[in-house]
Structure 1
Amino acid sequence: DPDKDSQDGYNSTLIPIDSGNNSSGGVVQDIMGHTLFLLMYALKTDNVTMVLDSCHSGGAKRGNFVVRSRSNSKKLQINPKEIEYQSQWLKRLNLSPQEFLRLRRQGVAKGVVIASAKREQLAVDASFDDFSAGAFTYLFTQYLWQQPQNQSVKRILVDVSRSTNIYSDRKGYDQIPELETNTKQPNPPLYFTPFNANYAEAVITKINGNQVELWLGGVDSESLEAFEKDAVFTVADGGGKGFVKLESRQGLVGKGTLINTTQLKPGTLLQERIRGISPNIKLNIGLDDTFDSNTLNQAKQAFQTINRVSALPLRQQEVQYIFGAMTSARYQELQKRRIPNLPPVGSFGLFLATLDEILPKSFGDSGETVTDAIKRLIPKFKSLLAARIVKQMLGNTNTSKIKVTASMNIAGSQKVISETFPVRGFKKQTDNQNTLVKPPVITENGIPKLPIGTQVAFELENQESVPLYVSILVIDAAGEMAVIFPNDWGVAEGATLLSAGEKRTIPSQNDGFKLTVGEPLGMTEALIIASTSPLRTSLKALQGIAKRGGKTRGPIAPNEDEFLDVTDKLLDDLDTATRGGLNVEGVNLPAGVRGVDTNKLAAMAIPFDVLG
């Protein structure tokens, strides 16, 4: 950029898909940011919104992700035709070069511009189960499907920044969306258009007899695998009547069958009613593409002996983690990024999906063989698989209509750190549906940052006229789980009971223990489960764990085998409750598939970042 609008002297560009790599430099066919400014400025309305899911130039590969950008931008030159095209627009708009420069440096041309990442950050193209999409584009789209009415653009950016930050943190990179406005209204509604709609997970796009095609734009990314087959949707405005049963899914396009309903029309919105959890959910582990052929073959052979864990090449489908080696280059790069507790060079362990972060407590010694490393990690794989199953069960936290609220507070005070509730259970939606109050702690992109040693408590309130059965699980940055509630292991079924209208603080003053934030550092998530049916088998399993550990009260941390068993038992409980209410509605789940009914389950999540 000859005008040097930014300190680094570069102007961001859009790269045509057929432009090639141009690694040797020279003139390129890019569309300059200056040109985009002029095109927006020329519009006859101020009511324009531009969404850019793109990023600065960087490496084309980041672990299992693709970064759609170009390297070696220092050698690239502006096409003279681009400069001429800008000159033509300046004449049309009666703008002098000096005025053009002033307006650019003042801000965006007009309207609203939402960028998926900061100038120095990456915006990745991510694998979601069996398809790829811009990570921000998917999360932004899914968020909008959960909005029954338009909200202010600043409110939306806060919410989408939170979900983007959580997603990118789990994958091992930083991506924080940004907003710029140049409007008469200080905080306009998104796309400048008011609307009222139903919450939705899907929409009917085609109908042929009783066969329908769906687009699943409102399904949470972590729950997609639960919508392969046998999931059930209900018509959004049909009062819970009229069902569509999913028969198959490719990407976000599903095919289904109408059940107990009259002919529907394309454009009908659908809400999740039952998700179908496969008994064969696997943990997908990517294999480091810097391995030599001998190491790669040894790793493949070792993984073949592990049940429900798949070893996959990178950048072909979604992986949860990458099994790799700590090389000298990676060690130096992670040191620059101030990643704590780095393992020795030459050791094997698990990286997050970008290879830019490590999974805590997963690396061994530098002399360990690849086969021994994989054997050592088998308990960790079980723990990570259990966490993945939990996310499949509870991923779409917006879909329940049960009236229950949960908050995490500073212990011994009324200071609320974060509060959450199933928005569909409450008739009125506020502009602050996920974070109801300004938290008394430091937050970034809506996520509380809690130093080690912070004492917290949870407050639950059942606003239903029937009792609820509640559990609170916490999954830390290492993928390990603790059970915060129930915590009285001498009580039978009543240990999880929250009576109608009851409000309870966990732990209470009489519980004899405190909840204190501890290591590992990084993103931790509290998952609150509220069911209208007893959680008998999972409670029994937890009581057995407490008994073996000699505990009568307080939180417990199951080991890896126990964690997976408790997860399966919890899923059995939810499946039993689901099947018990299906007979009268004429929807049948096949044997082997475990169902989770949104009419009987509320799932809520409170993420927080643990600081050293």
Structure 2
Amino acid sequence: MANLKRRHFLQAAGSTLAAIGLSQMNVRRQGDRYAHALAQPTSRKLALLVGVNQYPAGVTPLRGCLTDVRMQKELLVHRFGFDPANILTLENQAATRQNLLDAFETHLIDQAQPGDVVVFHFSGHGSLVRDPDPIAIANGVEGYNGSLLPYDARLNVTDNQVNDIMGKTLFLLMANLKTDQVTVMLDSCHSGGGTRGDLIMRAVESQVALGDAEPSNAELAVQERWLAELGWSPAELKAQRSRGIAKGVALGSAQANQLAADASFGEGAGQFYAGAFTYALTRYLWQQPGNPPLDRVFVDLARSTRDVANSARIVQSPIYEVEPGRNFGQEPLFFSRPQSPAAEAVVVGTEASGEVKFWLGGVSSQSLAAFESGAIFSVVDGNGHEIGQVEQTRRVGLEGYGTLADSTREQIAAGQLLRERVRGVPTDLTLRVGLDASLGADVETARPQLATFNRIQPVAVDGSQSPHYLLGRMTEQGLAIATADAVRDVGEVGSIGLFTPGLVAIRASFGEPGEPIAAAIQRLNPTLKLLLAGQVLRSVLNSDTSNLNVAVVVQPVDSDLAVGRSVSRGSQGGVVTQRLDDAVQMLQSGSEIVVTVANGEPRNLYVAILAIGSSGSMAVLHPTDWDSPESEPLLEPGQQLTIPHQELGRDSNRDYCANPSEAFHLCLSSSGYAEILTLVSTSPLRDALRGLRQIAAANNTRSGEPIGLQDNDPVNVIDTLLGDIDRTTRGEITVRGGVRGVDTTQLAALSTLIQVVEN
């Protein structure tokens, strides 16, 4: 999506973020600024972290806001060197309006001096409140200001006056800080509240009683007080707000027309709830090894937030803005440089049983299943060197537990960092399918029938089991969501098909209205197998942790513009992210692309490339040459591989997608997202190659052409690939339990996402 100018954003947005001057950018810039801000040497670093899950009756409770606070605190302390004594948290009933305002004043305004770092984070509900002196049109209606809901925001409402904290008030509080090194983070939204599918949205309606929410007299008095402290007139305040944010950097979880998801992740004892944005940001910053500027972090985070939002199955694009006239885009996030090496976890204590307890702040949402048990972490010193190992035995939420490996002679203490060495992908990883209420009485028929499918697990849609997808009937709401998200081929009202947990329809999964539930489930069996294979594949994605020096670039044919770039942690330059450049992240349907893989290792590597469409369709792009099945996947040191191979005598004026030739060309079709998955191993993938050759022969696929996977092929191919990788891993390190080991020194698994739009 093209960037919006700040002026246009302010006119279109109605959130608190817009009220303090935020403009849309991509997530990567957001994260880098946040990291850069935290990294500066200062006399003091202060943080106020607020999370509200439990609101009084009448306001939908949330589930992930306290996790957000914990995520931020662990990150600030263990990665950016904040003193825990300088971090104040307000949670649930403690986060009243007055307590929040008092804490901002006494902990931040009174203490912060010029050059100090200040961080304010809020996770909770947002809304809209009437503004007596507005600066923008909010959600198409003039006269509103975005607001934050403290615990008591909607208690004792009289004449529609609420206890919300308006964006205008937050602007004045920021302006009264004596330092410019300020980072404000808001994980809330201001429209479309309530429940959607298996998700709860962090917003409440602006309607109160019989009219719109109005600011309380106390709120207006607070604004008058801080206006007087600044010596500003109301006209000057309006002019300042129109220019942009008051101080430093402000980051928000979603655009004004999007929803901020309060989502569930994992299952069983490992389940937890969190804000998609906070999870993406903090996880990214744990794993970022260098000290990139905020502009780059925000771009990187676009991919990370999409990763988490995909797990939550909802479109969510963060926004950010910097103080006008300041070059804070080149500063690190939090105005602070990381004080410790990149890591996936940090030791937080030792149990009476002798188990090591650690916080898994750097683990991706899509790979959580690989960190239940059997994973192995390297204990690293301040320079990132391994000094021991911890074998994970269990996980409760984001808290992991494990035992020291026999080779670890030194005792480890709280604060020591852990890096992923081997993840343990369960051999029986399942696809959780939620049974949506739109099925009505057919839920009881669907449950046992789905349970007969191997590794397909039917679950309830009640926020307790984190389904990967939902089975349900198309409704008017579902059609509206599909239209808004430009999803086509979604069937008519009453037809049965698959949705994401955020009720986004899976294209081409719907049958005819009136189709019996039993017939629909049988029809969807192949699609479910494809989705299961994709879920298993994504559990091994490790560009953020792999030590192999590899890079993947996806670009249009005859173009130097890269629409996707995936780089492993072990790559030269230390870039950790899978990156999408905003200006070129979308390609039109019918575009021809090529995938280039570069080997920066001093040894041979072996490459497999797969493509997954937005409907779950899967194809093997490489290897496909059955005349040289052992040598084709090999990529020698310093060499590059381009797929598809470009034939000699190519006509630069010919559209090979519209007028195909005998050679294989990779063309994009249908709107949505296409994903290129690249697996790079230090050992030959012999069993997988044999299996692919058999599938190609059975399907009469010619050598050199991509292999479409169907029926049981996808799961079998992926399981065989993991089996090859597991054998390599076990030759290097001991992996226990019913898992397949994926060693970061032996495998790089990278994903590149492409958005496809219609002409």
Do the aligned partners of 1:235 and 1:269 also contact (CA within 8 Å) in 2?
yes
Equivalent position to 2:424, from 268, 272, 276: 276
1:181 lines up with 2:311 in the alignment? no
1:190 lines up with 2:336 in the alignment? no
1:322 lines up with 2:470 in the alignment? yes
Q: Report the CA distance shift for 1:453/1:334 in structure 2 as closer, same or farther (over 3 A).
A: closer
Q: Report the CA distance shift for 1:65/1:179 in structure 2 as closer, same or farther (over 3 A).
A: same
Do the aligned partners of 1:453 and 1:516 also contact (CA within 8 Å) in 2?
no
1:368-383 matches, cutoff 5 A: 368-383=515-530
Q: Equivalent residue for 1:3? A: 133
Do the aligned partners of 2:390 and 2:402 also contact (CA within 8 Å) in 1?
yes
Q: Equivalent residue for 1:347? A: 495
How far did 1:522 drift? 0.8
Q: Equivalent residue for 1:203? A: 346
Residues in 1 aligned to 2:451 and 2:158: alpha-carbon distance in whole angstroms? 43
Q: Report the CA distance shift for 1:295/1:114 in structure 2 as closer, same or farther (over 3 A).
A: same
Do the aligned partners of 2:568 and 2:577 also contact (CA within 8 Å) in 1?
no
Q: Report the CA distance shift for 1:170/1:597 in structure 2 as closer, same or farther (over 3 A).
A: closer
How far did 1:486 drift? 0.5
Say which SS state the counterpart of residue 232 (structure 2) adopts.
coil
How far did 1:546 drift? 1.0
Say which SS state the counterpart of residue 557 (structure 1) adopts.
strand
Q: Report the CA distance shift for 1:333/1:127 in structure 2 as closer, same or farther (over 3 A).
A: closer
Residues in 2 aligned to 1:471 and 1:239: alpha-carbon distance in whole angstroms? 31
Number of residue pairs the alignment of both structures matches: 595
1:168-567 matches, cutoff 5 A: 168=309, 172-182=313-323, 184-187=326-329, 188-195=331-338, 197-207=340-350, 210-237=354-381, 239-259=385-405, 260-261=407-408, 262-292=410-440, 294-314=441-461, 315-332=463-480, 334-335=482-483, 338-355=486-503, 357-394=504-541, 396-412=542-558, 414-426=560-572, 428-429=573-574, 434=578, 445=582, 448-510=585-647, 513-550=663-700, 551-567=702-718
Do the aligned partners of 2:343 and 2:417 also contact (CA within 8 Å) in 1?
yes
1:88 lines up with 2:228 in the alignment? no
How far did 1:24 drift? 11
One-letter identity of the residue aligned with 1:140: L
Q: Equivalent residue for 1:105? A: 242
Q: Report the CA distance shift for 1:219/1:359 in structure 2 as closer, same or farther (over 3 A).
A: same
Residues in 2 aligned to 1:227 and 1:483: alpha-carbon distance in whole angstroms? 27
One-letter identity of the residue aligned with 2:178: K
Residues in 1 aligned to 2:674 and 2:316: alpha-carbon distance in whole angstroms? 18
Q: Equivalent residue for 2:742? A: 596
Do the aligned partners of 1:131 and 1:317 also contact (CA within 8 Å) in 2?
no
Q: Equivalent residue for 1:45? A: 179
How far did 1:493 drift? 1.7
Please give the per-residue CA displacement for 1:358-411, whole angstroms capped at 9, x wherever unaligned: 1122111112011221121112111111110111122x3211111222222332
One-letter identity of the residue aligned with 1:554: E
Residues in 2 aligned to 1:525 and 1:20: alpha-carbon distance in whole angstroms? 44
How far did 1:23 drift? 11
Q: Report the CA distance shift for 1:347/1:506 in structure 2 as closer, same or farther (over 3 A).
A: same
Please give the per-residue CA displacement for 1:66-103, whole angstroms capped at 9, x wherever unaligned: 10211243522211111112222222222222222221
Say which SS state the counterpart of residue 419 (structure 1) adopts.
strand
Say which SS state the counterpart of residue 224 (structure 2) adopts.
helix
Say which SS state the counterpart of residue 460 (structure 1) adopts.
strand
Please give the per-residue CA displacement for 1:320-363, whole angstroms capped at 9, x wherever unaligned: 111110124533554465532231221100012211x2112211
One-letter identity of the residue aligned with 2:753: P
Please give the per-residue CA displacement for 1:393-442, whole angstroms capped at 9, x wherever unaligned: 22x3211111222222332555544332213343x336x9655xxxxxxx
One-letter identity of the residue aligned with 1:152: P
One-letter identity of the residue aligned with 2:551: T
How far did 1:543 drift? 0.6
One-letter identity of the residue aligned with 1:216: L
Q: Report the CA distance shift for 1:470/1:230 in structure 2 as closer, same or farther (over 3 A).
A: same
Name the % identity. Answer: 38
Larger deviation, residues 166-175 vs 44-53: 166-175
How far did 1:155 drift? 1.4
Say which SS state the counterpart of residue 418 (structure 2) adopts.
strand
Larger deviation, residues 544-553 vs 566-575: 544-553
Do the aligned partners of 2:276 and 2:312 also contact (CA within 8 Å) in 1?
no
Q: Equivalent residue for 2:725? A: 574
One-letter identity of the residue aligned with 1:136: F
Say which SS state the counterpart of residue 508 (structure 1) adopts.
coil
Please give the per-residue CA displacement for 1:418-472, whole angstroms capped at 9, x wherever unaligned: 332213343x336x9655xxxxxxx774762122222222222222222111100
How far did 1:29 drift? 1.4
Residues in 1 aligned to 2:220 and 2:458: alpha-carbon distance in whole angstroms? 50
Equivalent position to 1:152, from 284, 293, 299: 293
Larger deviation, residues 593-602 vs 237-246: 237-246
Residues in 2 aligned to 1:329 and 1:227: alpha-carbon distance in whole angstroms? 36
Please give the per-residue CA displacement for 1:251-293, whole angstroms capped at 9, x wherever unaligned: 110111111211122111111000111122111111212343x
Q: Report the CA distance shift for 1:224/1:542 in structure 2 as closer, same or farther (over 3 A).
A: same
TM-score, with length taken from structure 2: 0.75
CA RMSD of aligned residues (A): 2.3
Say which SS state the counterpart of residue 119 (structure 1) adopts.
coil
Residues in 2 aligned to 1:333 and 1:175: alpha-carbon distance in whole angstroms? 14
TM-score, with length taken from structure 1: 0.92
Q: Report the CA distance shift for 1:385/1:446 in structure 2 as closer, same or farther (over 3 A).
A: farther
Q: Report the CA distance shift for 1:505/1:57 in structure 2 as closer, same or farther (over 3 A).
A: closer
Q: Equivalent residue for 1:440? A: none
Q: Report the CA distance shift for 1:13/1:235 in structure 2 as closer, same or farther (over 3 A).
A: same
Equivalent position to 1:164, from 297, 300, 305: 305
Do the aligned partners of 2:265 and 2:466 also contact (CA within 8 Å) in 1?
yes
Q: Equivalent residue for 2:283? A: 142
Q: Report the CA distance shift for 1:379/1:418 in structure 2 as closer, same or farther (over 3 A).
A: closer
How far did 1:56 drift? 0.9
Q: Equivalent residue for 1:438? A: none
Say which SS state the counterpart of residue 494 (structure 1) adopts.
coil
Say which SS state the counterpart of residue 12 (structure 1) adopts.
strand
Residues in 1 aligned to 2:477 and 2:416: alpha-carbon distance in whole angstroms? 53
Do the aligned partners of 1:37 and 1:104 also contact (CA within 8 Å) in 2?
yes
Residues in 1 aligned to 2:581 and 2:557: alpha-carbon distance in whole angstroms? 21
